Chain A
Amino acid sequence: MLKIHCPYCQETREEEEFHYSGQAHIARPTDPESCSDEDWGNYLYFRKNPRGRHMEMWVHAAGCRKFFNVVRDTVTYEVEQTYLIGHVPAGST
Protein backbone atom coordinates (compact mmCIF):
# COMPACT_ATOMS: atom_id res chain seq x y z
CA MET A 1 0.00 0.00 0.00
CA LEU A 2 1.80 3.03 -1.26
CA LYS A 3 1.83 6.42 0.29
CA ILE A 4 2.68 9.17 -2.12
CA HIS A 5 3.63 12.75 -1.57
CA CYS A 6 1.68 15.09 -3.82
CA PRO A 7 3.97 17.97 -4.65
CA TYR A 8 0.95 20.20 -5.19
CA CYS A 9 -1.11 19.43 -2.12
CA GLN A 10 2.20 19.18 -0.26
CA GLU A 11 0.95 16.23 1.69
CA THR A 12 1.56 12.55 1.70
CA ARG A 13 -1.64 10.78 0.81
CA GLU A 14 -2.92 7.26 0.47
CA GLU A 15 -2.57 5.34 -2.75
CA GLU A 16 -6.36 5.27 -3.13
CA GLU A 17 -6.35 8.95 -4.13
CA PHE A 18 -3.97 8.46 -7.04
CA HIS A 19 -3.97 6.84 -10.46
CA TYR A 20 -0.84 5.36 -11.92
CA SER A 21 -0.03 6.77 -15.31
CA GLY A 22 2.91 4.80 -16.64
CA GLN A 23 6.53 5.49 -17.33
CA ALA A 24 7.56 9.14 -17.06
CA HIS A 25 9.52 11.25 -19.50
CA ILE A 26 8.13 9.76 -22.71
CA ALA A 27 8.04 12.77 -24.95
CA ARG A 28 5.68 12.76 -27.88
CA PRO A 29 7.70 12.93 -31.09
CA THR A 30 7.60 16.51 -32.31
CA ASP A 31 6.86 15.48 -35.85
CA PRO A 32 4.85 12.27 -35.76
CA GLU A 33 4.39 12.21 -39.50
CA SER A 34 8.09 11.83 -40.07
CA CYS A 35 8.31 8.92 -37.68
CA SER A 36 8.69 5.46 -39.10
CA ASP A 37 6.24 2.79 -37.96
CA GLU A 38 9.07 1.54 -35.83
CA ASP A 39 9.66 4.89 -34.13
CA TRP A 40 5.98 5.23 -33.53
CA GLY A 41 5.67 1.73 -32.15
CA ASN A 42 8.53 2.41 -29.77
CA TYR A 43 6.87 5.58 -28.57
CA LEU A 44 3.50 3.92 -28.15
CA TYR A 45 4.34 0.61 -26.59
CA PHE A 46 7.94 -0.11 -25.67
CA ARG A 47 8.86 0.53 -22.05
CA LYS A 48 11.86 0.38 -19.73
CA ASN A 49 10.03 -1.66 -17.10
CA PRO A 50 13.03 -1.73 -14.76
CA ARG A 51 13.45 -3.88 -11.74
CA GLY A 52 14.43 -1.25 -9.20
CA ARG A 53 14.42 2.51 -9.58
CA HIS A 54 11.58 3.63 -11.84
CA MET A 55 10.55 7.07 -12.94
CA GLU A 56 6.84 7.13 -13.43
CA MET A 57 3.85 9.43 -13.61
CA TRP A 58 0.96 9.52 -11.20
CA VAL A 59 -2.05 11.76 -11.05
CA HIS A 60 -3.68 12.90 -7.86
CA ALA A 61 -6.99 11.80 -9.29
CA ALA A 62 -9.18 12.15 -6.23
CA GLY A 63 -7.33 15.20 -4.99
CA CYS A 64 -5.93 18.13 -6.96
CA ARG A 65 -6.06 16.27 -10.31
CA LYS A 66 -2.46 17.13 -11.10
CA PHE A 67 0.01 14.85 -12.80
CA PHE A 68 3.50 14.61 -11.39
CA ASN A 69 6.53 12.33 -11.43
CA VAL A 70 7.57 9.78 -8.88
CA VAL A 71 10.75 7.82 -8.40
CA ARG A 72 9.80 4.50 -6.92
CA ASP A 73 11.63 1.25 -6.37
CA THR A 74 9.66 -1.46 -8.10
CA VAL A 75 10.97 -4.13 -5.74
CA THR A 76 10.79 -2.52 -2.31
CA TYR A 77 7.95 -0.19 -3.38
CA GLU A 78 9.68 2.63 -1.56
CA VAL A 79 8.92 6.04 -2.96
CA GLU A 80 12.19 7.90 -3.19
CA GLN A 81 10.88 11.27 -4.30
CA THR A 82 8.20 13.06 -6.24
CA TYR A 83 8.82 15.96 -8.58
CA LEU A 84 7.04 18.12 -11.08
CA ILE A 85 6.38 17.37 -14.72
CA GLY A 86 9.11 18.79 -16.89
CA HIS A 87 11.69 18.48 -14.12
CA VAL A 88 14.34 15.88 -13.51
CA PRO A 89 14.55 13.95 -10.26
CA ALA A 90 16.77 15.34 -7.55
CA GLY A 91 20.19 13.78 -7.64
CA SER A 92 20.20 13.33 -11.41
CA THR A 93 22.98 14.77 -13.43
Chain B
Amino acid sequence: MEKYSAYSLFKHALGHHENWQRQWRNPEPKKHYDVIIIGGGGHGLATAYYLAKNHGIHNIAVIEKGYLGGGNTGRNTTIVRSNYLWDESAHLYEHALTLWEGLSQDLNYNVMFSQRGVLNLGHTLQDMRDIERRVSANRLNGIDGEVLDVDGVRRIVPILNTSKNTRFPVLGASWQPRGGVARHDAVAWGYARGADRLGVDLLQQCTVTGFEMSGNQVRGVVTNRYGTIEADRVGCVVAGNSGVLAGYAGFELPIESHPLQALVSEPIKPVLDTVVMSNQVHGYISQSDKGDLVIGAGIDSYTGYGQRGSFTTIEHTIAAIVELFPIFSRVRMNRQWGGIVDTTPDACPIMGTSPVENLYLNCGWGTGGFKATPGSGHVFAECLASNDTPQLAKPFNLQRFYSGALIDEHGAAGVAH
Protein backbone atom coordinates (compact mmCIF):
# COMPACT_ATOMS: atom_id res chain seq x y z
CA MET B 1 0.00 0.00 0.00
CA GLU B 2 1.34 3.36 -0.87
CA LYS B 3 1.88 5.70 2.00
CA TYR B 4 -0.12 8.89 2.12
CA SER B 5 1.76 12.08 2.91
CA ALA B 6 2.28 15.59 1.70
CA TYR B 7 5.05 14.18 -0.44
CA SER B 8 2.81 11.60 -2.10
CA LEU B 9 0.28 14.32 -2.82
CA PHE B 10 2.95 16.41 -4.44
CA LYS B 11 4.25 13.53 -6.44
CA HIS B 12 0.79 12.62 -7.73
CA ALA B 13 0.00 16.23 -8.49
CA LEU B 14 2.86 16.15 -11.00
CA GLY B 15 1.18 13.13 -12.58
CA HIS B 16 -2.18 14.91 -12.65
CA HIS B 17 -3.46 12.48 -10.04
CA GLU B 18 -3.77 9.80 -12.67
CA ASN B 19 -1.89 7.16 -10.76
CA TRP B 20 -3.45 6.93 -7.37
CA GLN B 21 -4.13 3.36 -6.37
CA ARG B 22 -7.49 2.09 -5.32
CA GLN B 23 -8.00 2.50 -1.60
CA TRP B 24 -9.46 -1.02 -1.49
CA ARG B 25 -9.99 -3.82 -3.92
CA ASN B 26 -13.29 -4.99 -5.27
CA PRO B 27 -12.62 -8.72 -4.77
CA GLU B 28 -14.51 -11.82 -5.75
CA PRO B 29 -15.44 -13.70 -2.60
CA LYS B 30 -13.75 -16.91 -1.58
CA LYS B 31 -15.74 -20.00 -0.70
CA HIS B 32 -14.62 -20.02 2.87
CA TYR B 33 -13.33 -17.51 5.39
CA ASP B 34 -11.96 -17.92 8.86
CA VAL B 35 -14.06 -15.00 9.96
CA ILE B 36 -16.90 -13.19 8.28
CA ILE B 37 -17.92 -9.83 9.60
CA ILE B 38 -21.42 -8.79 8.62
CA GLY B 39 -21.67 -5.03 8.40
CA GLY B 40 -19.20 -2.66 6.77
CA GLY B 41 -19.71 0.21 9.18
CA GLY B 42 -16.93 1.63 11.30
CA HIS B 43 -17.27 -1.09 13.90
CA GLY B 44 -17.23 -3.96 11.41
CA LEU B 45 -14.30 -2.56 9.45
CA ALA B 46 -12.34 -1.81 12.61
CA THR B 47 -12.98 -5.34 13.81
CA ALA B 48 -11.60 -6.74 10.58
CA TYR B 49 -8.62 -4.42 10.69
CA TYR B 50 -7.62 -5.34 14.24
CA LEU B 51 -8.26 -9.04 13.65
CA ALA B 52 -5.78 -8.92 10.83
CA LYS B 53 -3.36 -6.55 12.44
CA ASN B 54 -3.27 -7.83 16.02
CA HIS B 55 -4.37 -11.43 15.78
CA GLY B 56 -2.77 -12.67 12.60
CA ILE B 57 -6.03 -13.71 11.00
CA HIS B 58 -6.11 -12.61 7.38
CA ASN B 59 -8.71 -14.81 5.77
CA ILE B 60 -11.52 -12.44 6.55
CA ALA B 61 -14.45 -10.97 4.67
CA VAL B 62 -16.52 -7.98 5.56
CA ILE B 63 -19.94 -8.15 3.94
CA GLU B 64 -21.77 -4.90 3.47
CA LYS B 65 -25.21 -4.64 1.95
CA GLY B 66 -24.71 -1.11 0.68
CA TYR B 67 -21.57 0.96 0.47
CA LEU B 68 -18.88 0.98 3.16
CA GLY B 69 -19.70 3.35 5.98
CA GLY B 70 -23.20 4.01 4.67
CA GLY B 71 -24.97 3.01 7.87
CA ASN B 72 -24.89 4.98 11.08
CA THR B 73 -21.19 5.52 10.63
CA GLY B 74 -22.03 7.80 7.72
CA ARG B 75 -24.89 9.60 9.35
CA ASN B 76 -23.89 10.46 12.88
CA THR B 77 -22.97 13.73 14.52
CA THR B 78 -19.48 12.39 15.21
CA ILE B 79 -19.22 13.33 18.87
CA VAL B 80 -16.39 11.54 20.61
CA ARG B 81 -16.01 11.54 24.38
CA SER B 82 -15.34 9.03 27.11
CA ASN B 83 -16.83 10.68 30.16
CA TYR B 84 -19.35 7.96 30.88
CA LEU B 85 -20.70 7.39 34.35
CA TRP B 86 -20.36 3.72 35.10
CA ASP B 87 -16.95 2.10 35.30
CA GLU B 88 -17.77 -0.53 32.73
CA SER B 89 -18.64 1.97 30.02
CA ALA B 90 -16.06 4.53 31.06
CA HIS B 91 -13.27 1.97 30.65
CA LEU B 92 -14.54 0.87 27.28
CA TYR B 93 -15.00 4.36 25.85
CA GLU B 94 -11.72 5.56 27.33
CA HIS B 95 -10.00 2.64 25.65
CA ALA B 96 -11.55 3.86 22.41
CA LEU B 97 -10.53 7.45 23.04
CA THR B 98 -6.93 6.41 23.56
CA LEU B 99 -7.00 4.63 20.22
CA TRP B 100 -8.58 7.68 18.56
CA GLU B 101 -5.61 9.71 19.67
CA GLY B 102 -3.24 7.82 17.40
CA LEU B 103 -5.66 6.61 14.78
CA SER B 104 -4.72 8.81 11.83
CA GLN B 105 -1.11 7.74 12.15
CA ASP B 106 -1.94 4.10 12.74
CA LEU B 107 -4.14 3.99 9.65
CA ASN B 108 -2.07 6.46 7.64
CA TYR B 109 -5.40 8.11 6.94
CA ASN B 110 -6.29 11.45 8.40
CA VAL B 111 -9.55 10.88 10.24
CA MET B 112 -9.41 14.50 11.39
CA PHE B 113 -9.92 13.61 15.00
CA SER B 114 -10.30 17.02 16.50
CA GLN B 115 -10.01 17.23 20.26
CA ARG B 116 -11.85 20.48 20.61
CA GLY B 117 -13.59 19.50 23.83
CA VAL B 118 -17.13 18.51 24.70
CA LEU B 119 -19.48 20.43 26.96
CA ASN B 120 -22.52 18.80 28.53
CA LEU B 121 -24.71 21.60 29.79
CA GLY B 122 -26.64 21.46 33.05
CA HIS B 123 -29.86 23.44 33.35
CA THR B 124 -31.38 22.15 36.56
CA LEU B 125 -30.08 21.35 40.01
CA GLN B 126 -30.54 17.66 39.24
CA ASP B 127 -28.53 18.09 36.02
CA MET B 128 -25.75 19.59 38.10
CA ARG B 129 -25.83 16.70 40.57
CA ASP B 130 -25.59 14.27 37.69
CA ILE B 131 -22.73 16.21 36.19
CA GLU B 132 -20.85 16.30 39.47
CA ARG B 133 -21.39 12.59 39.86
CA ARG B 134 -20.18 11.79 36.38
CA VAL B 135 -17.15 14.05 36.50
CA SER B 136 -16.21 12.75 39.93
CA ALA B 137 -16.43 9.20 38.60
CA ASN B 138 -14.40 10.12 35.52
CA ARG B 139 -11.69 11.63 37.68
CA LEU B 140 -11.30 8.41 39.63
CA ASN B 141 -11.32 6.44 36.40
CA GLY B 142 -8.45 8.54 35.11
CA ILE B 143 -10.59 10.34 32.54
CA ASP B 144 -10.15 14.05 32.05
CA GLY B 145 -13.00 16.33 32.90
CA GLU B 146 -14.15 19.13 35.07
CA VAL B 147 -17.31 20.73 36.34
CA LEU B 148 -17.75 24.28 35.09
CA ASP B 149 -19.95 26.97 36.48
CA VAL B 150 -21.78 29.29 34.16
CA ASP B 151 -18.83 31.67 33.88
CA GLY B 152 -16.64 28.79 32.87
CA VAL B 153 -19.15 27.82 30.21
CA ARG B 154 -19.34 31.38 28.92
CA ARG B 155 -15.59 31.55 28.60
CA ILE B 156 -15.51 28.49 26.40
CA VAL B 157 -18.60 29.27 24.29
CA PRO B 158 -19.23 33.00 24.39
CA ILE B 159 -22.04 32.80 21.83
CA LEU B 160 -24.12 30.52 24.05
CA ASN B 161 -27.09 32.19 25.69
CA THR B 162 -26.09 32.08 29.34
CA SER B 163 -28.54 34.72 30.45
CA LYS B 164 -30.47 33.98 33.62
CA ASN B 165 -33.71 34.85 31.87
CA THR B 166 -33.93 31.94 29.50
CA ARG B 167 -36.55 29.26 29.99
CA PHE B 168 -33.91 26.84 31.29
CA PRO B 169 -30.90 28.91 32.28
CA VAL B 170 -27.52 27.26 31.97
CA LEU B 171 -26.25 26.50 35.46
CA GLY B 172 -22.99 24.87 34.48
CA ALA B 173 -21.56 22.03 32.51
CA SER B 174 -19.20 19.13 32.42
CA TRP B 175 -16.20 19.68 30.19
CA GLN B 176 -14.03 17.02 28.64
CA PRO B 177 -11.19 18.69 26.75
CA ARG B 178 -10.02 15.47 25.15
CA GLY B 179 -13.42 14.91 23.60
CA GLY B 180 -14.24 16.20 20.16
CA VAL B 181 -15.31 15.14 16.71
CA ALA B 182 -13.87 13.18 13.82
CA ARG B 183 -14.54 12.91 10.13
CA HIS B 184 -16.94 10.00 10.06
CA ASP B 185 -16.43 8.86 6.46
CA ALA B 186 -12.67 8.91 6.82
CA VAL B 187 -12.96 6.55 9.76
CA ALA B 188 -14.75 3.96 7.68
CA TRP B 189 -12.47 4.47 4.69
CA GLY B 190 -9.30 4.49 6.73
CA TYR B 191 -10.18 1.18 8.37
CA ALA B 192 -11.33 -0.22 5.04
CA ARG B 193 -8.07 0.67 3.37
CA GLY B 194 -6.09 -0.65 6.32
CA ALA B 195 -8.02 -3.91 6.40
CA ASP B 196 -7.80 -4.37 2.64
CA ARG B 197 -4.05 -3.97 2.79
CA LEU B 198 -3.92 -6.75 5.38
CA GLY B 199 -5.81 -9.06 3.03
CA VAL B 200 -9.38 -8.57 4.18
CA ASP B 201 -11.96 -8.95 1.40
CA LEU B 202 -14.48 -6.15 1.45
CA LEU B 203 -17.64 -7.30 -0.29
CA GLN B 204 -19.97 -4.40 -0.95
CA GLN B 205 -23.51 -4.31 -2.30
CA CYS B 206 -24.02 -7.78 -0.85
CA THR B 207 -26.72 -8.47 1.70
CA VAL B 208 -26.66 -11.30 4.20
CA THR B 209 -30.09 -12.85 4.01
CA GLY B 210 -29.66 -15.85 6.28
CA PHE B 211 -27.25 -18.16 8.04
CA GLU B 212 -25.99 -21.53 7.01
CA MET B 213 -26.72 -23.52 10.15
CA SER B 214 -25.94 -26.96 11.35
CA GLY B 215 -27.88 -27.57 14.50
CA ASN B 216 -27.23 -24.67 16.77
CA GLN B 217 -24.04 -23.80 14.92
CA VAL B 218 -23.46 -21.20 12.30
CA ARG B 219 -21.37 -22.51 9.39
CA GLY B 220 -21.60 -19.57 7.06
CA VAL B 221 -23.78 -16.87 5.72
CA VAL B 222 -26.28 -16.81 2.89
CA THR B 223 -26.09 -13.74 0.67
CA ASN B 224 -28.24 -12.31 -2.06
CA ARG B 225 -25.31 -11.81 -4.37
CA TYR B 226 -22.90 -14.70 -3.88
CA GLY B 227 -25.05 -17.43 -2.36
CA THR B 228 -23.59 -19.17 0.64
CA ILE B 229 -20.17 -18.24 1.93
CA GLU B 230 -18.70 -20.44 4.61
CA ALA B 231 -17.03 -19.22 7.74
CA ASP B 232 -15.68 -20.62 10.97
CA ARG B 233 -16.91 -17.65 12.90
CA VAL B 234 -19.27 -14.88 12.11
CA GLY B 235 -19.34 -11.49 13.77
CA CYS B 236 -22.56 -9.61 13.38
CA VAL B 237 -21.97 -5.85 13.46
CA VAL B 238 -25.02 -4.39 11.78
CA ALA B 239 -26.24 -1.76 14.26
CA GLY B 240 -29.92 -1.01 13.52
CA ASN B 241 -30.35 -4.27 11.65
CA SER B 242 -29.21 -6.50 14.51
CA GLY B 243 -32.74 -7.64 15.25
CA VAL B 244 -33.22 -8.70 11.65
CA LEU B 245 -30.02 -10.73 11.64
CA ALA B 246 -30.86 -12.28 15.01
CA GLY B 247 -34.16 -13.26 13.48
CA TYR B 248 -32.32 -15.16 10.72
CA ALA B 249 -30.49 -17.09 13.41
CA GLY B 250 -33.69 -17.75 15.30
CA PHE B 251 -33.45 -15.58 18.39
CA GLU B 252 -34.61 -12.22 19.66
CA LEU B 253 -32.54 -9.45 21.17
CA PRO B 254 -33.23 -6.83 23.80
CA ILE B 255 -33.01 -4.28 21.02
CA GLU B 256 -35.41 -1.97 19.35
CA SER B 257 -34.44 -0.06 16.23
CA HIS B 258 -35.45 3.56 16.18
CA PRO B 259 -34.92 6.41 13.79
CA LEU B 260 -32.41 8.94 15.02
CA GLN B 261 -32.15 12.13 13.04
CA ALA B 262 -29.57 14.79 12.46
CA LEU B 263 -29.31 17.89 10.36
CA VAL B 264 -26.83 20.42 9.09
CA SER B 265 -27.04 24.11 8.50
CA GLU B 266 -25.61 25.88 5.52
CA PRO B 267 -21.91 26.53 5.99
CA ILE B 268 -21.05 29.65 7.95
CA LYS B 269 -17.72 31.03 9.06
CA PRO B 270 -16.52 29.25 12.19
CA VAL B 271 -18.11 30.54 15.38
CA LEU B 272 -18.37 27.39 17.45
CA ASP B 273 -15.17 25.58 18.22
CA THR B 274 -16.36 23.00 20.72
CA VAL B 275 -19.09 20.43 20.94
CA VAL B 276 -22.10 21.53 22.99
CA MET B 277 -24.66 19.04 24.25
CA SER B 278 -27.75 19.66 26.29
CA ASN B 279 -30.12 17.00 27.51
CA GLN B 280 -32.63 19.24 29.16
CA VAL B 281 -33.39 21.26 26.06
CA HIS B 282 -32.39 18.41 23.78
CA GLY B 283 -29.86 19.55 21.26
CA TYR B 284 -26.35 18.55 20.27
CA ILE B 285 -24.25 20.78 18.13
CA SER B 286 -20.79 21.30 16.70
CA GLN B 287 -19.43 23.07 13.68
CA SER B 288 -17.58 21.09 11.06
CA ASP B 289 -14.38 22.12 9.35
CA LYS B 290 -16.49 22.92 6.29
CA GLY B 291 -18.49 25.37 8.34
CA ASP B 292 -21.87 23.70 8.63
CA LEU B 293 -23.44 23.33 12.04
CA VAL B 294 -23.92 19.63 12.66
CA ILE B 295 -26.89 19.07 14.90
CA GLY B 296 -28.19 15.91 16.51
CA ALA B 297 -31.83 15.44 17.33
CA GLY B 298 -33.57 13.37 19.95
CA ILE B 299 -34.53 9.82 19.12
CA ASP B 300 -37.91 9.16 17.54
CA SER B 301 -40.19 7.30 19.90
CA TYR B 302 -41.36 4.57 17.56
CA THR B 303 -39.38 1.84 15.89
CA GLY B 304 -38.42 2.28 12.28
CA TYR B 305 -36.10 1.09 9.57
CA GLY B 306 -36.84 3.93 7.18
CA GLN B 307 -33.74 6.05 7.89
CA ARG B 308 -36.08 8.94 8.42
CA GLY B 309 -38.07 10.16 11.36
CA SER B 310 -40.73 12.65 12.21
CA PHE B 311 -40.63 16.32 11.44
CA THR B 312 -41.68 17.24 14.97
CA THR B 313 -38.41 15.83 16.25
CA ILE B 314 -36.55 18.16 13.93
CA GLU B 315 -38.69 21.10 14.99
CA HIS B 316 -37.99 20.48 18.67
CA THR B 317 -34.30 20.13 18.06
CA ILE B 318 -34.09 23.35 16.15
CA ALA B 319 -36.11 25.19 18.77
CA ALA B 320 -33.58 23.93 21.31
CA ILE B 321 -30.68 25.16 19.22
CA VAL B 322 -32.25 28.60 18.84
CA GLU B 323 -32.88 28.65 22.59
CA LEU B 324 -29.22 27.90 23.25
CA PHE B 325 -27.86 30.03 20.41
CA PRO B 326 -30.24 32.87 19.56
CA ILE B 327 -27.76 34.18 16.99
CA PHE B 328 -28.40 31.09 14.86
CA SER B 329 -32.02 32.03 14.28
CA ARG B 330 -31.23 33.47 10.86
CA VAL B 331 -28.84 30.72 9.91
CA ARG B 332 -30.53 28.20 7.71
CA MET B 333 -30.98 24.48 7.84
CA ASN B 334 -29.70 22.73 4.76
CA ARG B 335 -30.36 19.03 5.07
CA GLN B 336 -31.78 16.50 7.47
CA TRP B 337 -31.44 12.73 7.51
CA GLY B 338 -31.89 9.76 9.76
CA GLY B 339 -30.18 6.57 10.82
CA ILE B 340 -31.46 3.40 12.42
CA VAL B 341 -30.14 3.04 15.92
CA ASP B 342 -30.17 -0.17 17.90
CA THR B 343 -31.25 0.79 21.39
CA THR B 344 -30.97 -1.43 24.42
CA PRO B 345 -32.84 -1.02 27.71
CA ASP B 346 -29.74 0.30 29.47
CA ALA B 347 -28.29 2.28 26.57
CA CYS B 348 -25.19 0.10 26.60
CA PRO B 349 -23.89 -2.19 23.87
CA ILE B 350 -24.04 -5.94 23.64
CA MET B 351 -20.75 -7.64 22.86
CA GLY B 352 -19.80 -11.26 22.89
CA THR B 353 -21.36 -14.62 22.29
CA SER B 354 -24.89 -15.17 21.08
CA PRO B 355 -27.36 -17.99 21.74
CA VAL B 356 -26.01 -19.60 18.57
CA GLU B 357 -22.54 -21.10 18.35
CA ASN B 358 -19.92 -19.37 16.21
CA LEU B 359 -22.08 -16.29 15.95
CA TYR B 360 -20.81 -13.28 17.86
CA LEU B 361 -22.64 -10.07 18.48
CA ASN B 362 -21.45 -6.51 18.54
CA CYS B 363 -24.49 -4.27 18.63
CA GLY B 364 -26.70 -2.09 20.78
CA TRP B 365 -24.49 0.96 20.45
CA GLY B 366 -27.61 2.92 19.85
CA THR B 367 -27.27 6.66 19.70
CA GLY B 368 -23.66 6.78 20.80
CA GLY B 369 -21.40 4.22 19.21
CA PHE B 370 -19.39 6.29 16.79
CA LYS B 371 -17.05 7.37 19.56
CA ALA B 372 -16.48 3.73 20.41
CA THR B 373 -15.51 2.66 16.89
CA PRO B 374 -11.81 1.94 17.46
CA GLY B 375 -12.39 0.47 20.91
CA SER B 376 -15.28 -1.64 19.79
CA GLY B 377 -13.35 -3.05 16.85
CA HIS B 378 -10.28 -3.65 18.99
CA VAL B 379 -12.13 -5.48 21.74
CA PHE B 380 -14.44 -7.38 19.42
CA ALA B 381 -11.50 -8.57 17.34
CA GLU B 382 -10.02 -10.03 20.49
CA CYS B 383 -13.33 -11.64 21.25
CA LEU B 384 -13.51 -13.29 17.82
CA ALA B 385 -9.88 -14.28 17.81
CA SER B 386 -9.73 -15.77 21.26
CA ASN B 387 -13.21 -17.20 21.38
CA ASP B 388 -13.35 -15.70 24.84
CA THR B 389 -14.79 -12.48 26.10
CA PRO B 390 -12.11 -9.93 26.89
CA GLN B 391 -12.25 -8.15 30.21
CA LEU B 392 -13.51 -4.87 28.78
CA ALA B 393 -16.38 -6.59 27.01
CA LYS B 394 -17.46 -8.91 29.84
CA PRO B 395 -20.00 -6.62 31.49
CA PHE B 396 -21.68 -6.14 28.12
CA ASN B 397 -22.80 -9.69 27.61
CA LEU B 398 -26.33 -10.68 26.73
CA GLN B 399 -26.68 -12.48 30.03
CA ARG B 400 -27.12 -9.22 31.89
CA PHE B 401 -30.68 -8.94 30.66
CA TYR B 402 -31.51 -12.11 32.54
CA SER B 403 -29.49 -11.55 35.67
CA GLY B 404 -30.50 -7.90 35.94
CA ALA B 405 -26.93 -6.59 35.94
CA LEU B 406 -27.78 -3.72 33.61
CA ILE B 407 -25.37 -0.82 33.26
CA ASP B 408 -27.87 1.93 33.31
CA GLU B 409 -26.19 4.77 31.44
CA HIS B 410 -29.54 6.03 30.41
CA GLY B 411 -31.43 6.26 33.70
CA ALA B 412 -28.48 7.36 35.73
CA ALA B 413 -26.38 9.42 33.40
CA GLY B 414 -29.13 10.50 31.07
CA VAL B 415 -26.75 11.55 28.35
CA ALA B 416 -27.26 10.42 24.79
CA HIS B 417 -24.77 10.23 21.91
Contact = CB atoms under 8 A, between A and B. Distances in A.
Name, among A19, A50, A56, the residue most crowded by chain B CB atoms within 10 Å (CB to CB).
Answer: A50
Interface residues of B, number: 24
Contacts of B304: 74-75, 77
A56 B256 CA distance: 12
Interface in A1-32: 1-2, 15-16, 19-20, 22
A37 B306 contact: no
Interface residues of A, number: 27
A63 to B, nearest CB: 16
A60 interface: no
A16 B243 contact: no
Chain A interface, DSSP helix/strand/loop, else mixed: mixed
Contacts, number: 73
Interface string A42-72: 1011111111001010000000000000001
B302 A47 contact: no
A47 B306 contact: no
Interface stretch (B70-78, B124-132, B247-255, B284-292): B247-255
Nearest to A39: B402
Interface of A: 1-2, 15-16, 19-20, 22, 37-38, 40-42, 44-51, 54, 56, 72, 74-77
21 contacts: A1-B311, A2-B302, A20-B302, A20-B303, A37-B404, A42-B252, A45-B345, A45-B401, A46-B253, A46-B401, A47-B252, A47-B253, A47-B255, A49-B244, A49-B253, A51-B257, A54-B303, A56-B303, A76-B306, A77-B304, A77-B306
Top 10 closest pairs, chain A to chain B, by CB: A49-B243, A45-B254, A41-B402, A20-B302, A20-B301, A46-B252, A45-B401, A37-B402, A51-B305, A41-B401
